[in-house]
C-alpha cells in the first residue's frame, strides 16, 4: 500500500513538474495520461472500499490508524482529481490550439499558394516584357532599315529624274542643233537652185549657143554631184541623229522601266515632239532620196531637152519640199 502511495506521489509530482513542460505536447499524450490517472483513481477507490470493509471488521485500536489512512487517501484523491481537471483543461486548450494551428496551417498554405502564383505571374510578366522589348527592338530596326531604304530609293529616284531631265535637255539641244544644220543644208540647196536658175536663164537669153550639150551635161553632173554630196551629208546627219535619239530613247525606256511609278508628263511630251520632228526629217530624207534617184535615172539617158525638163521638175519638187 505504501509503495503504491509513494508511486502515486512520485507520479503526481512528476505530473505536476511535467504539467508546465507538456503544455506544448500532443493531445494524445494528454489523453493517455488521463486514462492512466483514471485507472489509478479506480484502483485507489477499490483500495478505499477494501479498507472500509477492513475497518468495519477491525478493532477500535486500529480505527485511528485507519482514519489517518483514510484521510491520506482522501487527500490523495483530491490531488488526483485536481490533476485530472487541470489535465482536462490543458487538453481543451491543446485541442483549441491544435484547431487554431490547423486553421493557421491552412491559411499559411493558402497564402503560400497565392505567393507562388504571384511569383509565377511575375516571372511570366517579366518574360513577356522581355519578349515584347525584343520584338519592339526588331520591329524598330526593321522600320529604320525600311526608312533608310526609302531614303536611298528617293535619292536614287531624284538622281534618275535629274539624269532623265538632263538627257531630255540634251536631246532637245541635239534636235535643235540638227534642225539648224538641216536648215543650213536647205539654205545651201536653195542657193544651189537659185544659181541653177540664173545659169538656166543666162543660157536661155544667149543669142548664140555657146554652151554645147557636153558642157550642159557636165554642168548637170556637177549639180548632181553637189546635190549628192549635200544629200550624203544630210543622210549622215540624219543617221547620227537617229543613233543619238535611239540611245536616248533606250535610256529613257530603261529609266521608265526602273521607275514606272514616277511618270513625267513633260518628258513624255518632249519625247513625243522629238519623235514627230524625227518622223518629219525622215519623210524629207525619203523624198530627197527619191528625187535624187529619179534624177540619176534620168541622167543615164539624158538629152539637152530632157535634161532641161528634168532639172525644171527637180527644182519644182525641191521648192515644194522645202516650202
Q: What is the pLDDT along the chain (323 residues), one digit of tens a residue?
A: 444 444 544 454 444 444 444 444 566 777 777 788 778 778 877 877 777 777 666 555 566 776 777 777 778 778 878 887 888 888 888 788 878 887 878 888 888 888 998 988 888 898 889 899 899 999 999 999 999 999 999 898 888 888 888 877 887 787 778 778 777 877 777 777 777 777 777 766 654 444 455 555 566 666 666 666 766 776 777 677 677 777 777 776 777 676 554 444 444 555 555 556 666 666 666 666 666 566 556 555 444 444 444 455 555 555 555 45
| pLDDT for the residue 253 | 72
According to DSSP, residue 24 is labeled G
Is 319:193 a contact under the CB 8 Å cutoff? yes
Instruction: Tell me the HSE value of 221 on the side-chain side, using a 13 A CA sphere.
Output: 10
Is 230:189 a contact under the CB 8 Å cutoff? yes
| pLDDT for the residue 145 | 92
Instruction: Answer whether 0.85 is exceeded by the pTM.
Output: no
Whole-angstrom distance, CA of residue 215 vs CA of residue 192 = 18
Backbone φ/ψ region at 264: left (φ over 0), alpha (ψ -120 to 50), beta:
beta
| pLDDT for the residue 136 | 92
Whole-angstrom distance, CA of residue 196 vs CA of residue 317 = 14
Whole-angstrom distance, CA of residue 7 vs CA of residue 12 = 8
| pLDDT for the residue 317 | 53
Residue 212 phi/psi, 5° resolution?
A: -85, 175
Whole-angstrom distance, CA of residue 64 vs CA of residue 55 = 10
Whole-angstrom distance, CA of residue 189 vs CA of residue 260 = 45
Q: Please, where are the H alpha helices in the chain?
A: 2-21, 27-57, 61-205, 213-258, 265-300, 304-322
| pLDDT for the residue 146 | 92
| pLDDT for the residue 281 | 60
Is 20:87 a contact under the CB 8 Å cutoff? no
| pLDDT for the residue 144 | 93
Whole-angstrom distance, CA of residue 196 vs CA of residue 191 = 8
According to DSSP, residue 59 is labeled -
Q: CA-CA distances (angstroms) from residue 169 to 162, 177, 181?
A: 10, 12, 18
Amino acid at each position: 500500500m505504501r509503495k503504491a502511495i509513494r508511486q502515486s506521489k512520485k507520479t503526481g509530482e512528476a505530473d505536476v513538474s511535467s504539467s508546465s513542460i507538456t503544455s506544448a505536447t500532443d493531445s494524445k499524450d494528454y489523453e493517455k495520461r488521463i486514462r492512466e490517472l483514471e485507472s489509478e483513481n479506480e484502483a485507489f477507490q477499490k483500495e478505499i472500499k477494501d479498507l472500509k470493509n477492513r475497518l468495519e471488521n477491525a478493532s477500535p485500536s486500529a480505527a485511528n490508524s485507519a482514519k489517518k489512512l483514510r484521510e491520506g487517501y482522501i487527500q490523495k484523491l483530491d490531488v488526483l482529481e485536481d490533476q485530472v481537471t487541470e489535465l482536462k483543461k490543458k487538453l481543451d486548450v491543446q485541442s483549441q490550439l491544435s484547431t487554431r494551428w490547423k486553421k493557421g496551417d491552412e491559411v499559411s498554405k493558402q497564402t503560400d499558394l497565392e505567393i507562388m502564383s504571384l511569383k509565377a505571374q511575375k516571372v511570366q510578366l517579366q518574360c513577356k516584357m522581355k519578349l515584347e522589348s525584343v520584338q519592339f527592338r526588331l520591329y524598330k530596326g526593321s522600320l529604320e532599315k525600311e526608312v533608310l531604304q526609302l531614303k536611298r530609293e528617293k535619292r536614287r529616284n531624284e538622281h534618275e529624274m535629274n539624269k532623265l531631265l538632263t538627257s531630255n535637255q540634251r536631246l532637245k539641244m541635239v534636235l535643235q542643233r540638227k534642225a539648224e544644220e538641216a536648215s543650213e543644208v536647205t539654205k545651201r540647196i536653195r542657193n544651189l537652185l537659185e544659181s541653177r536658175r540664173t545659169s538656166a536663164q543666162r543660157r536661155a537669153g544667149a543669142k548664140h549657143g555657146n554652151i554645147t550639150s557636153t558642157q550642159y551635161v557636165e554642168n548637170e553632173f556637177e549639180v548632181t554631184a553637189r546635190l549628192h554630196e549635200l544629200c550624203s551629208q544630210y543622210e549622215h546627219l540624219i543617221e547620227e541623229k537617229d543613233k543619238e535619239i535611239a540611245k536616248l530613247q533606250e535610256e529613257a525606256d530603261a529609266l521608265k522601266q526602273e521607275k514606272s511609278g514616277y511618270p513625267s508628263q513633260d518628258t513624255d511630251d518632249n519625247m513625243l515632239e522629238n519623235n514627230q520632228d524625227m518622223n518629219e526629217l525622215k519623210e524629207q530624207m525619203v523624198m530627197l532620196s527619191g528625187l535624187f534617184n529619179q534624177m540619176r535615172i534620168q541622167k543615164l539617158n539624158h538629152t539637152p531637152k530632157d535634161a532641161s525638163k528634168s532639172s525644171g521638175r527637180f527644182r519644182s519638187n525641191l521648192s515644194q519640199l522645202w516650202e
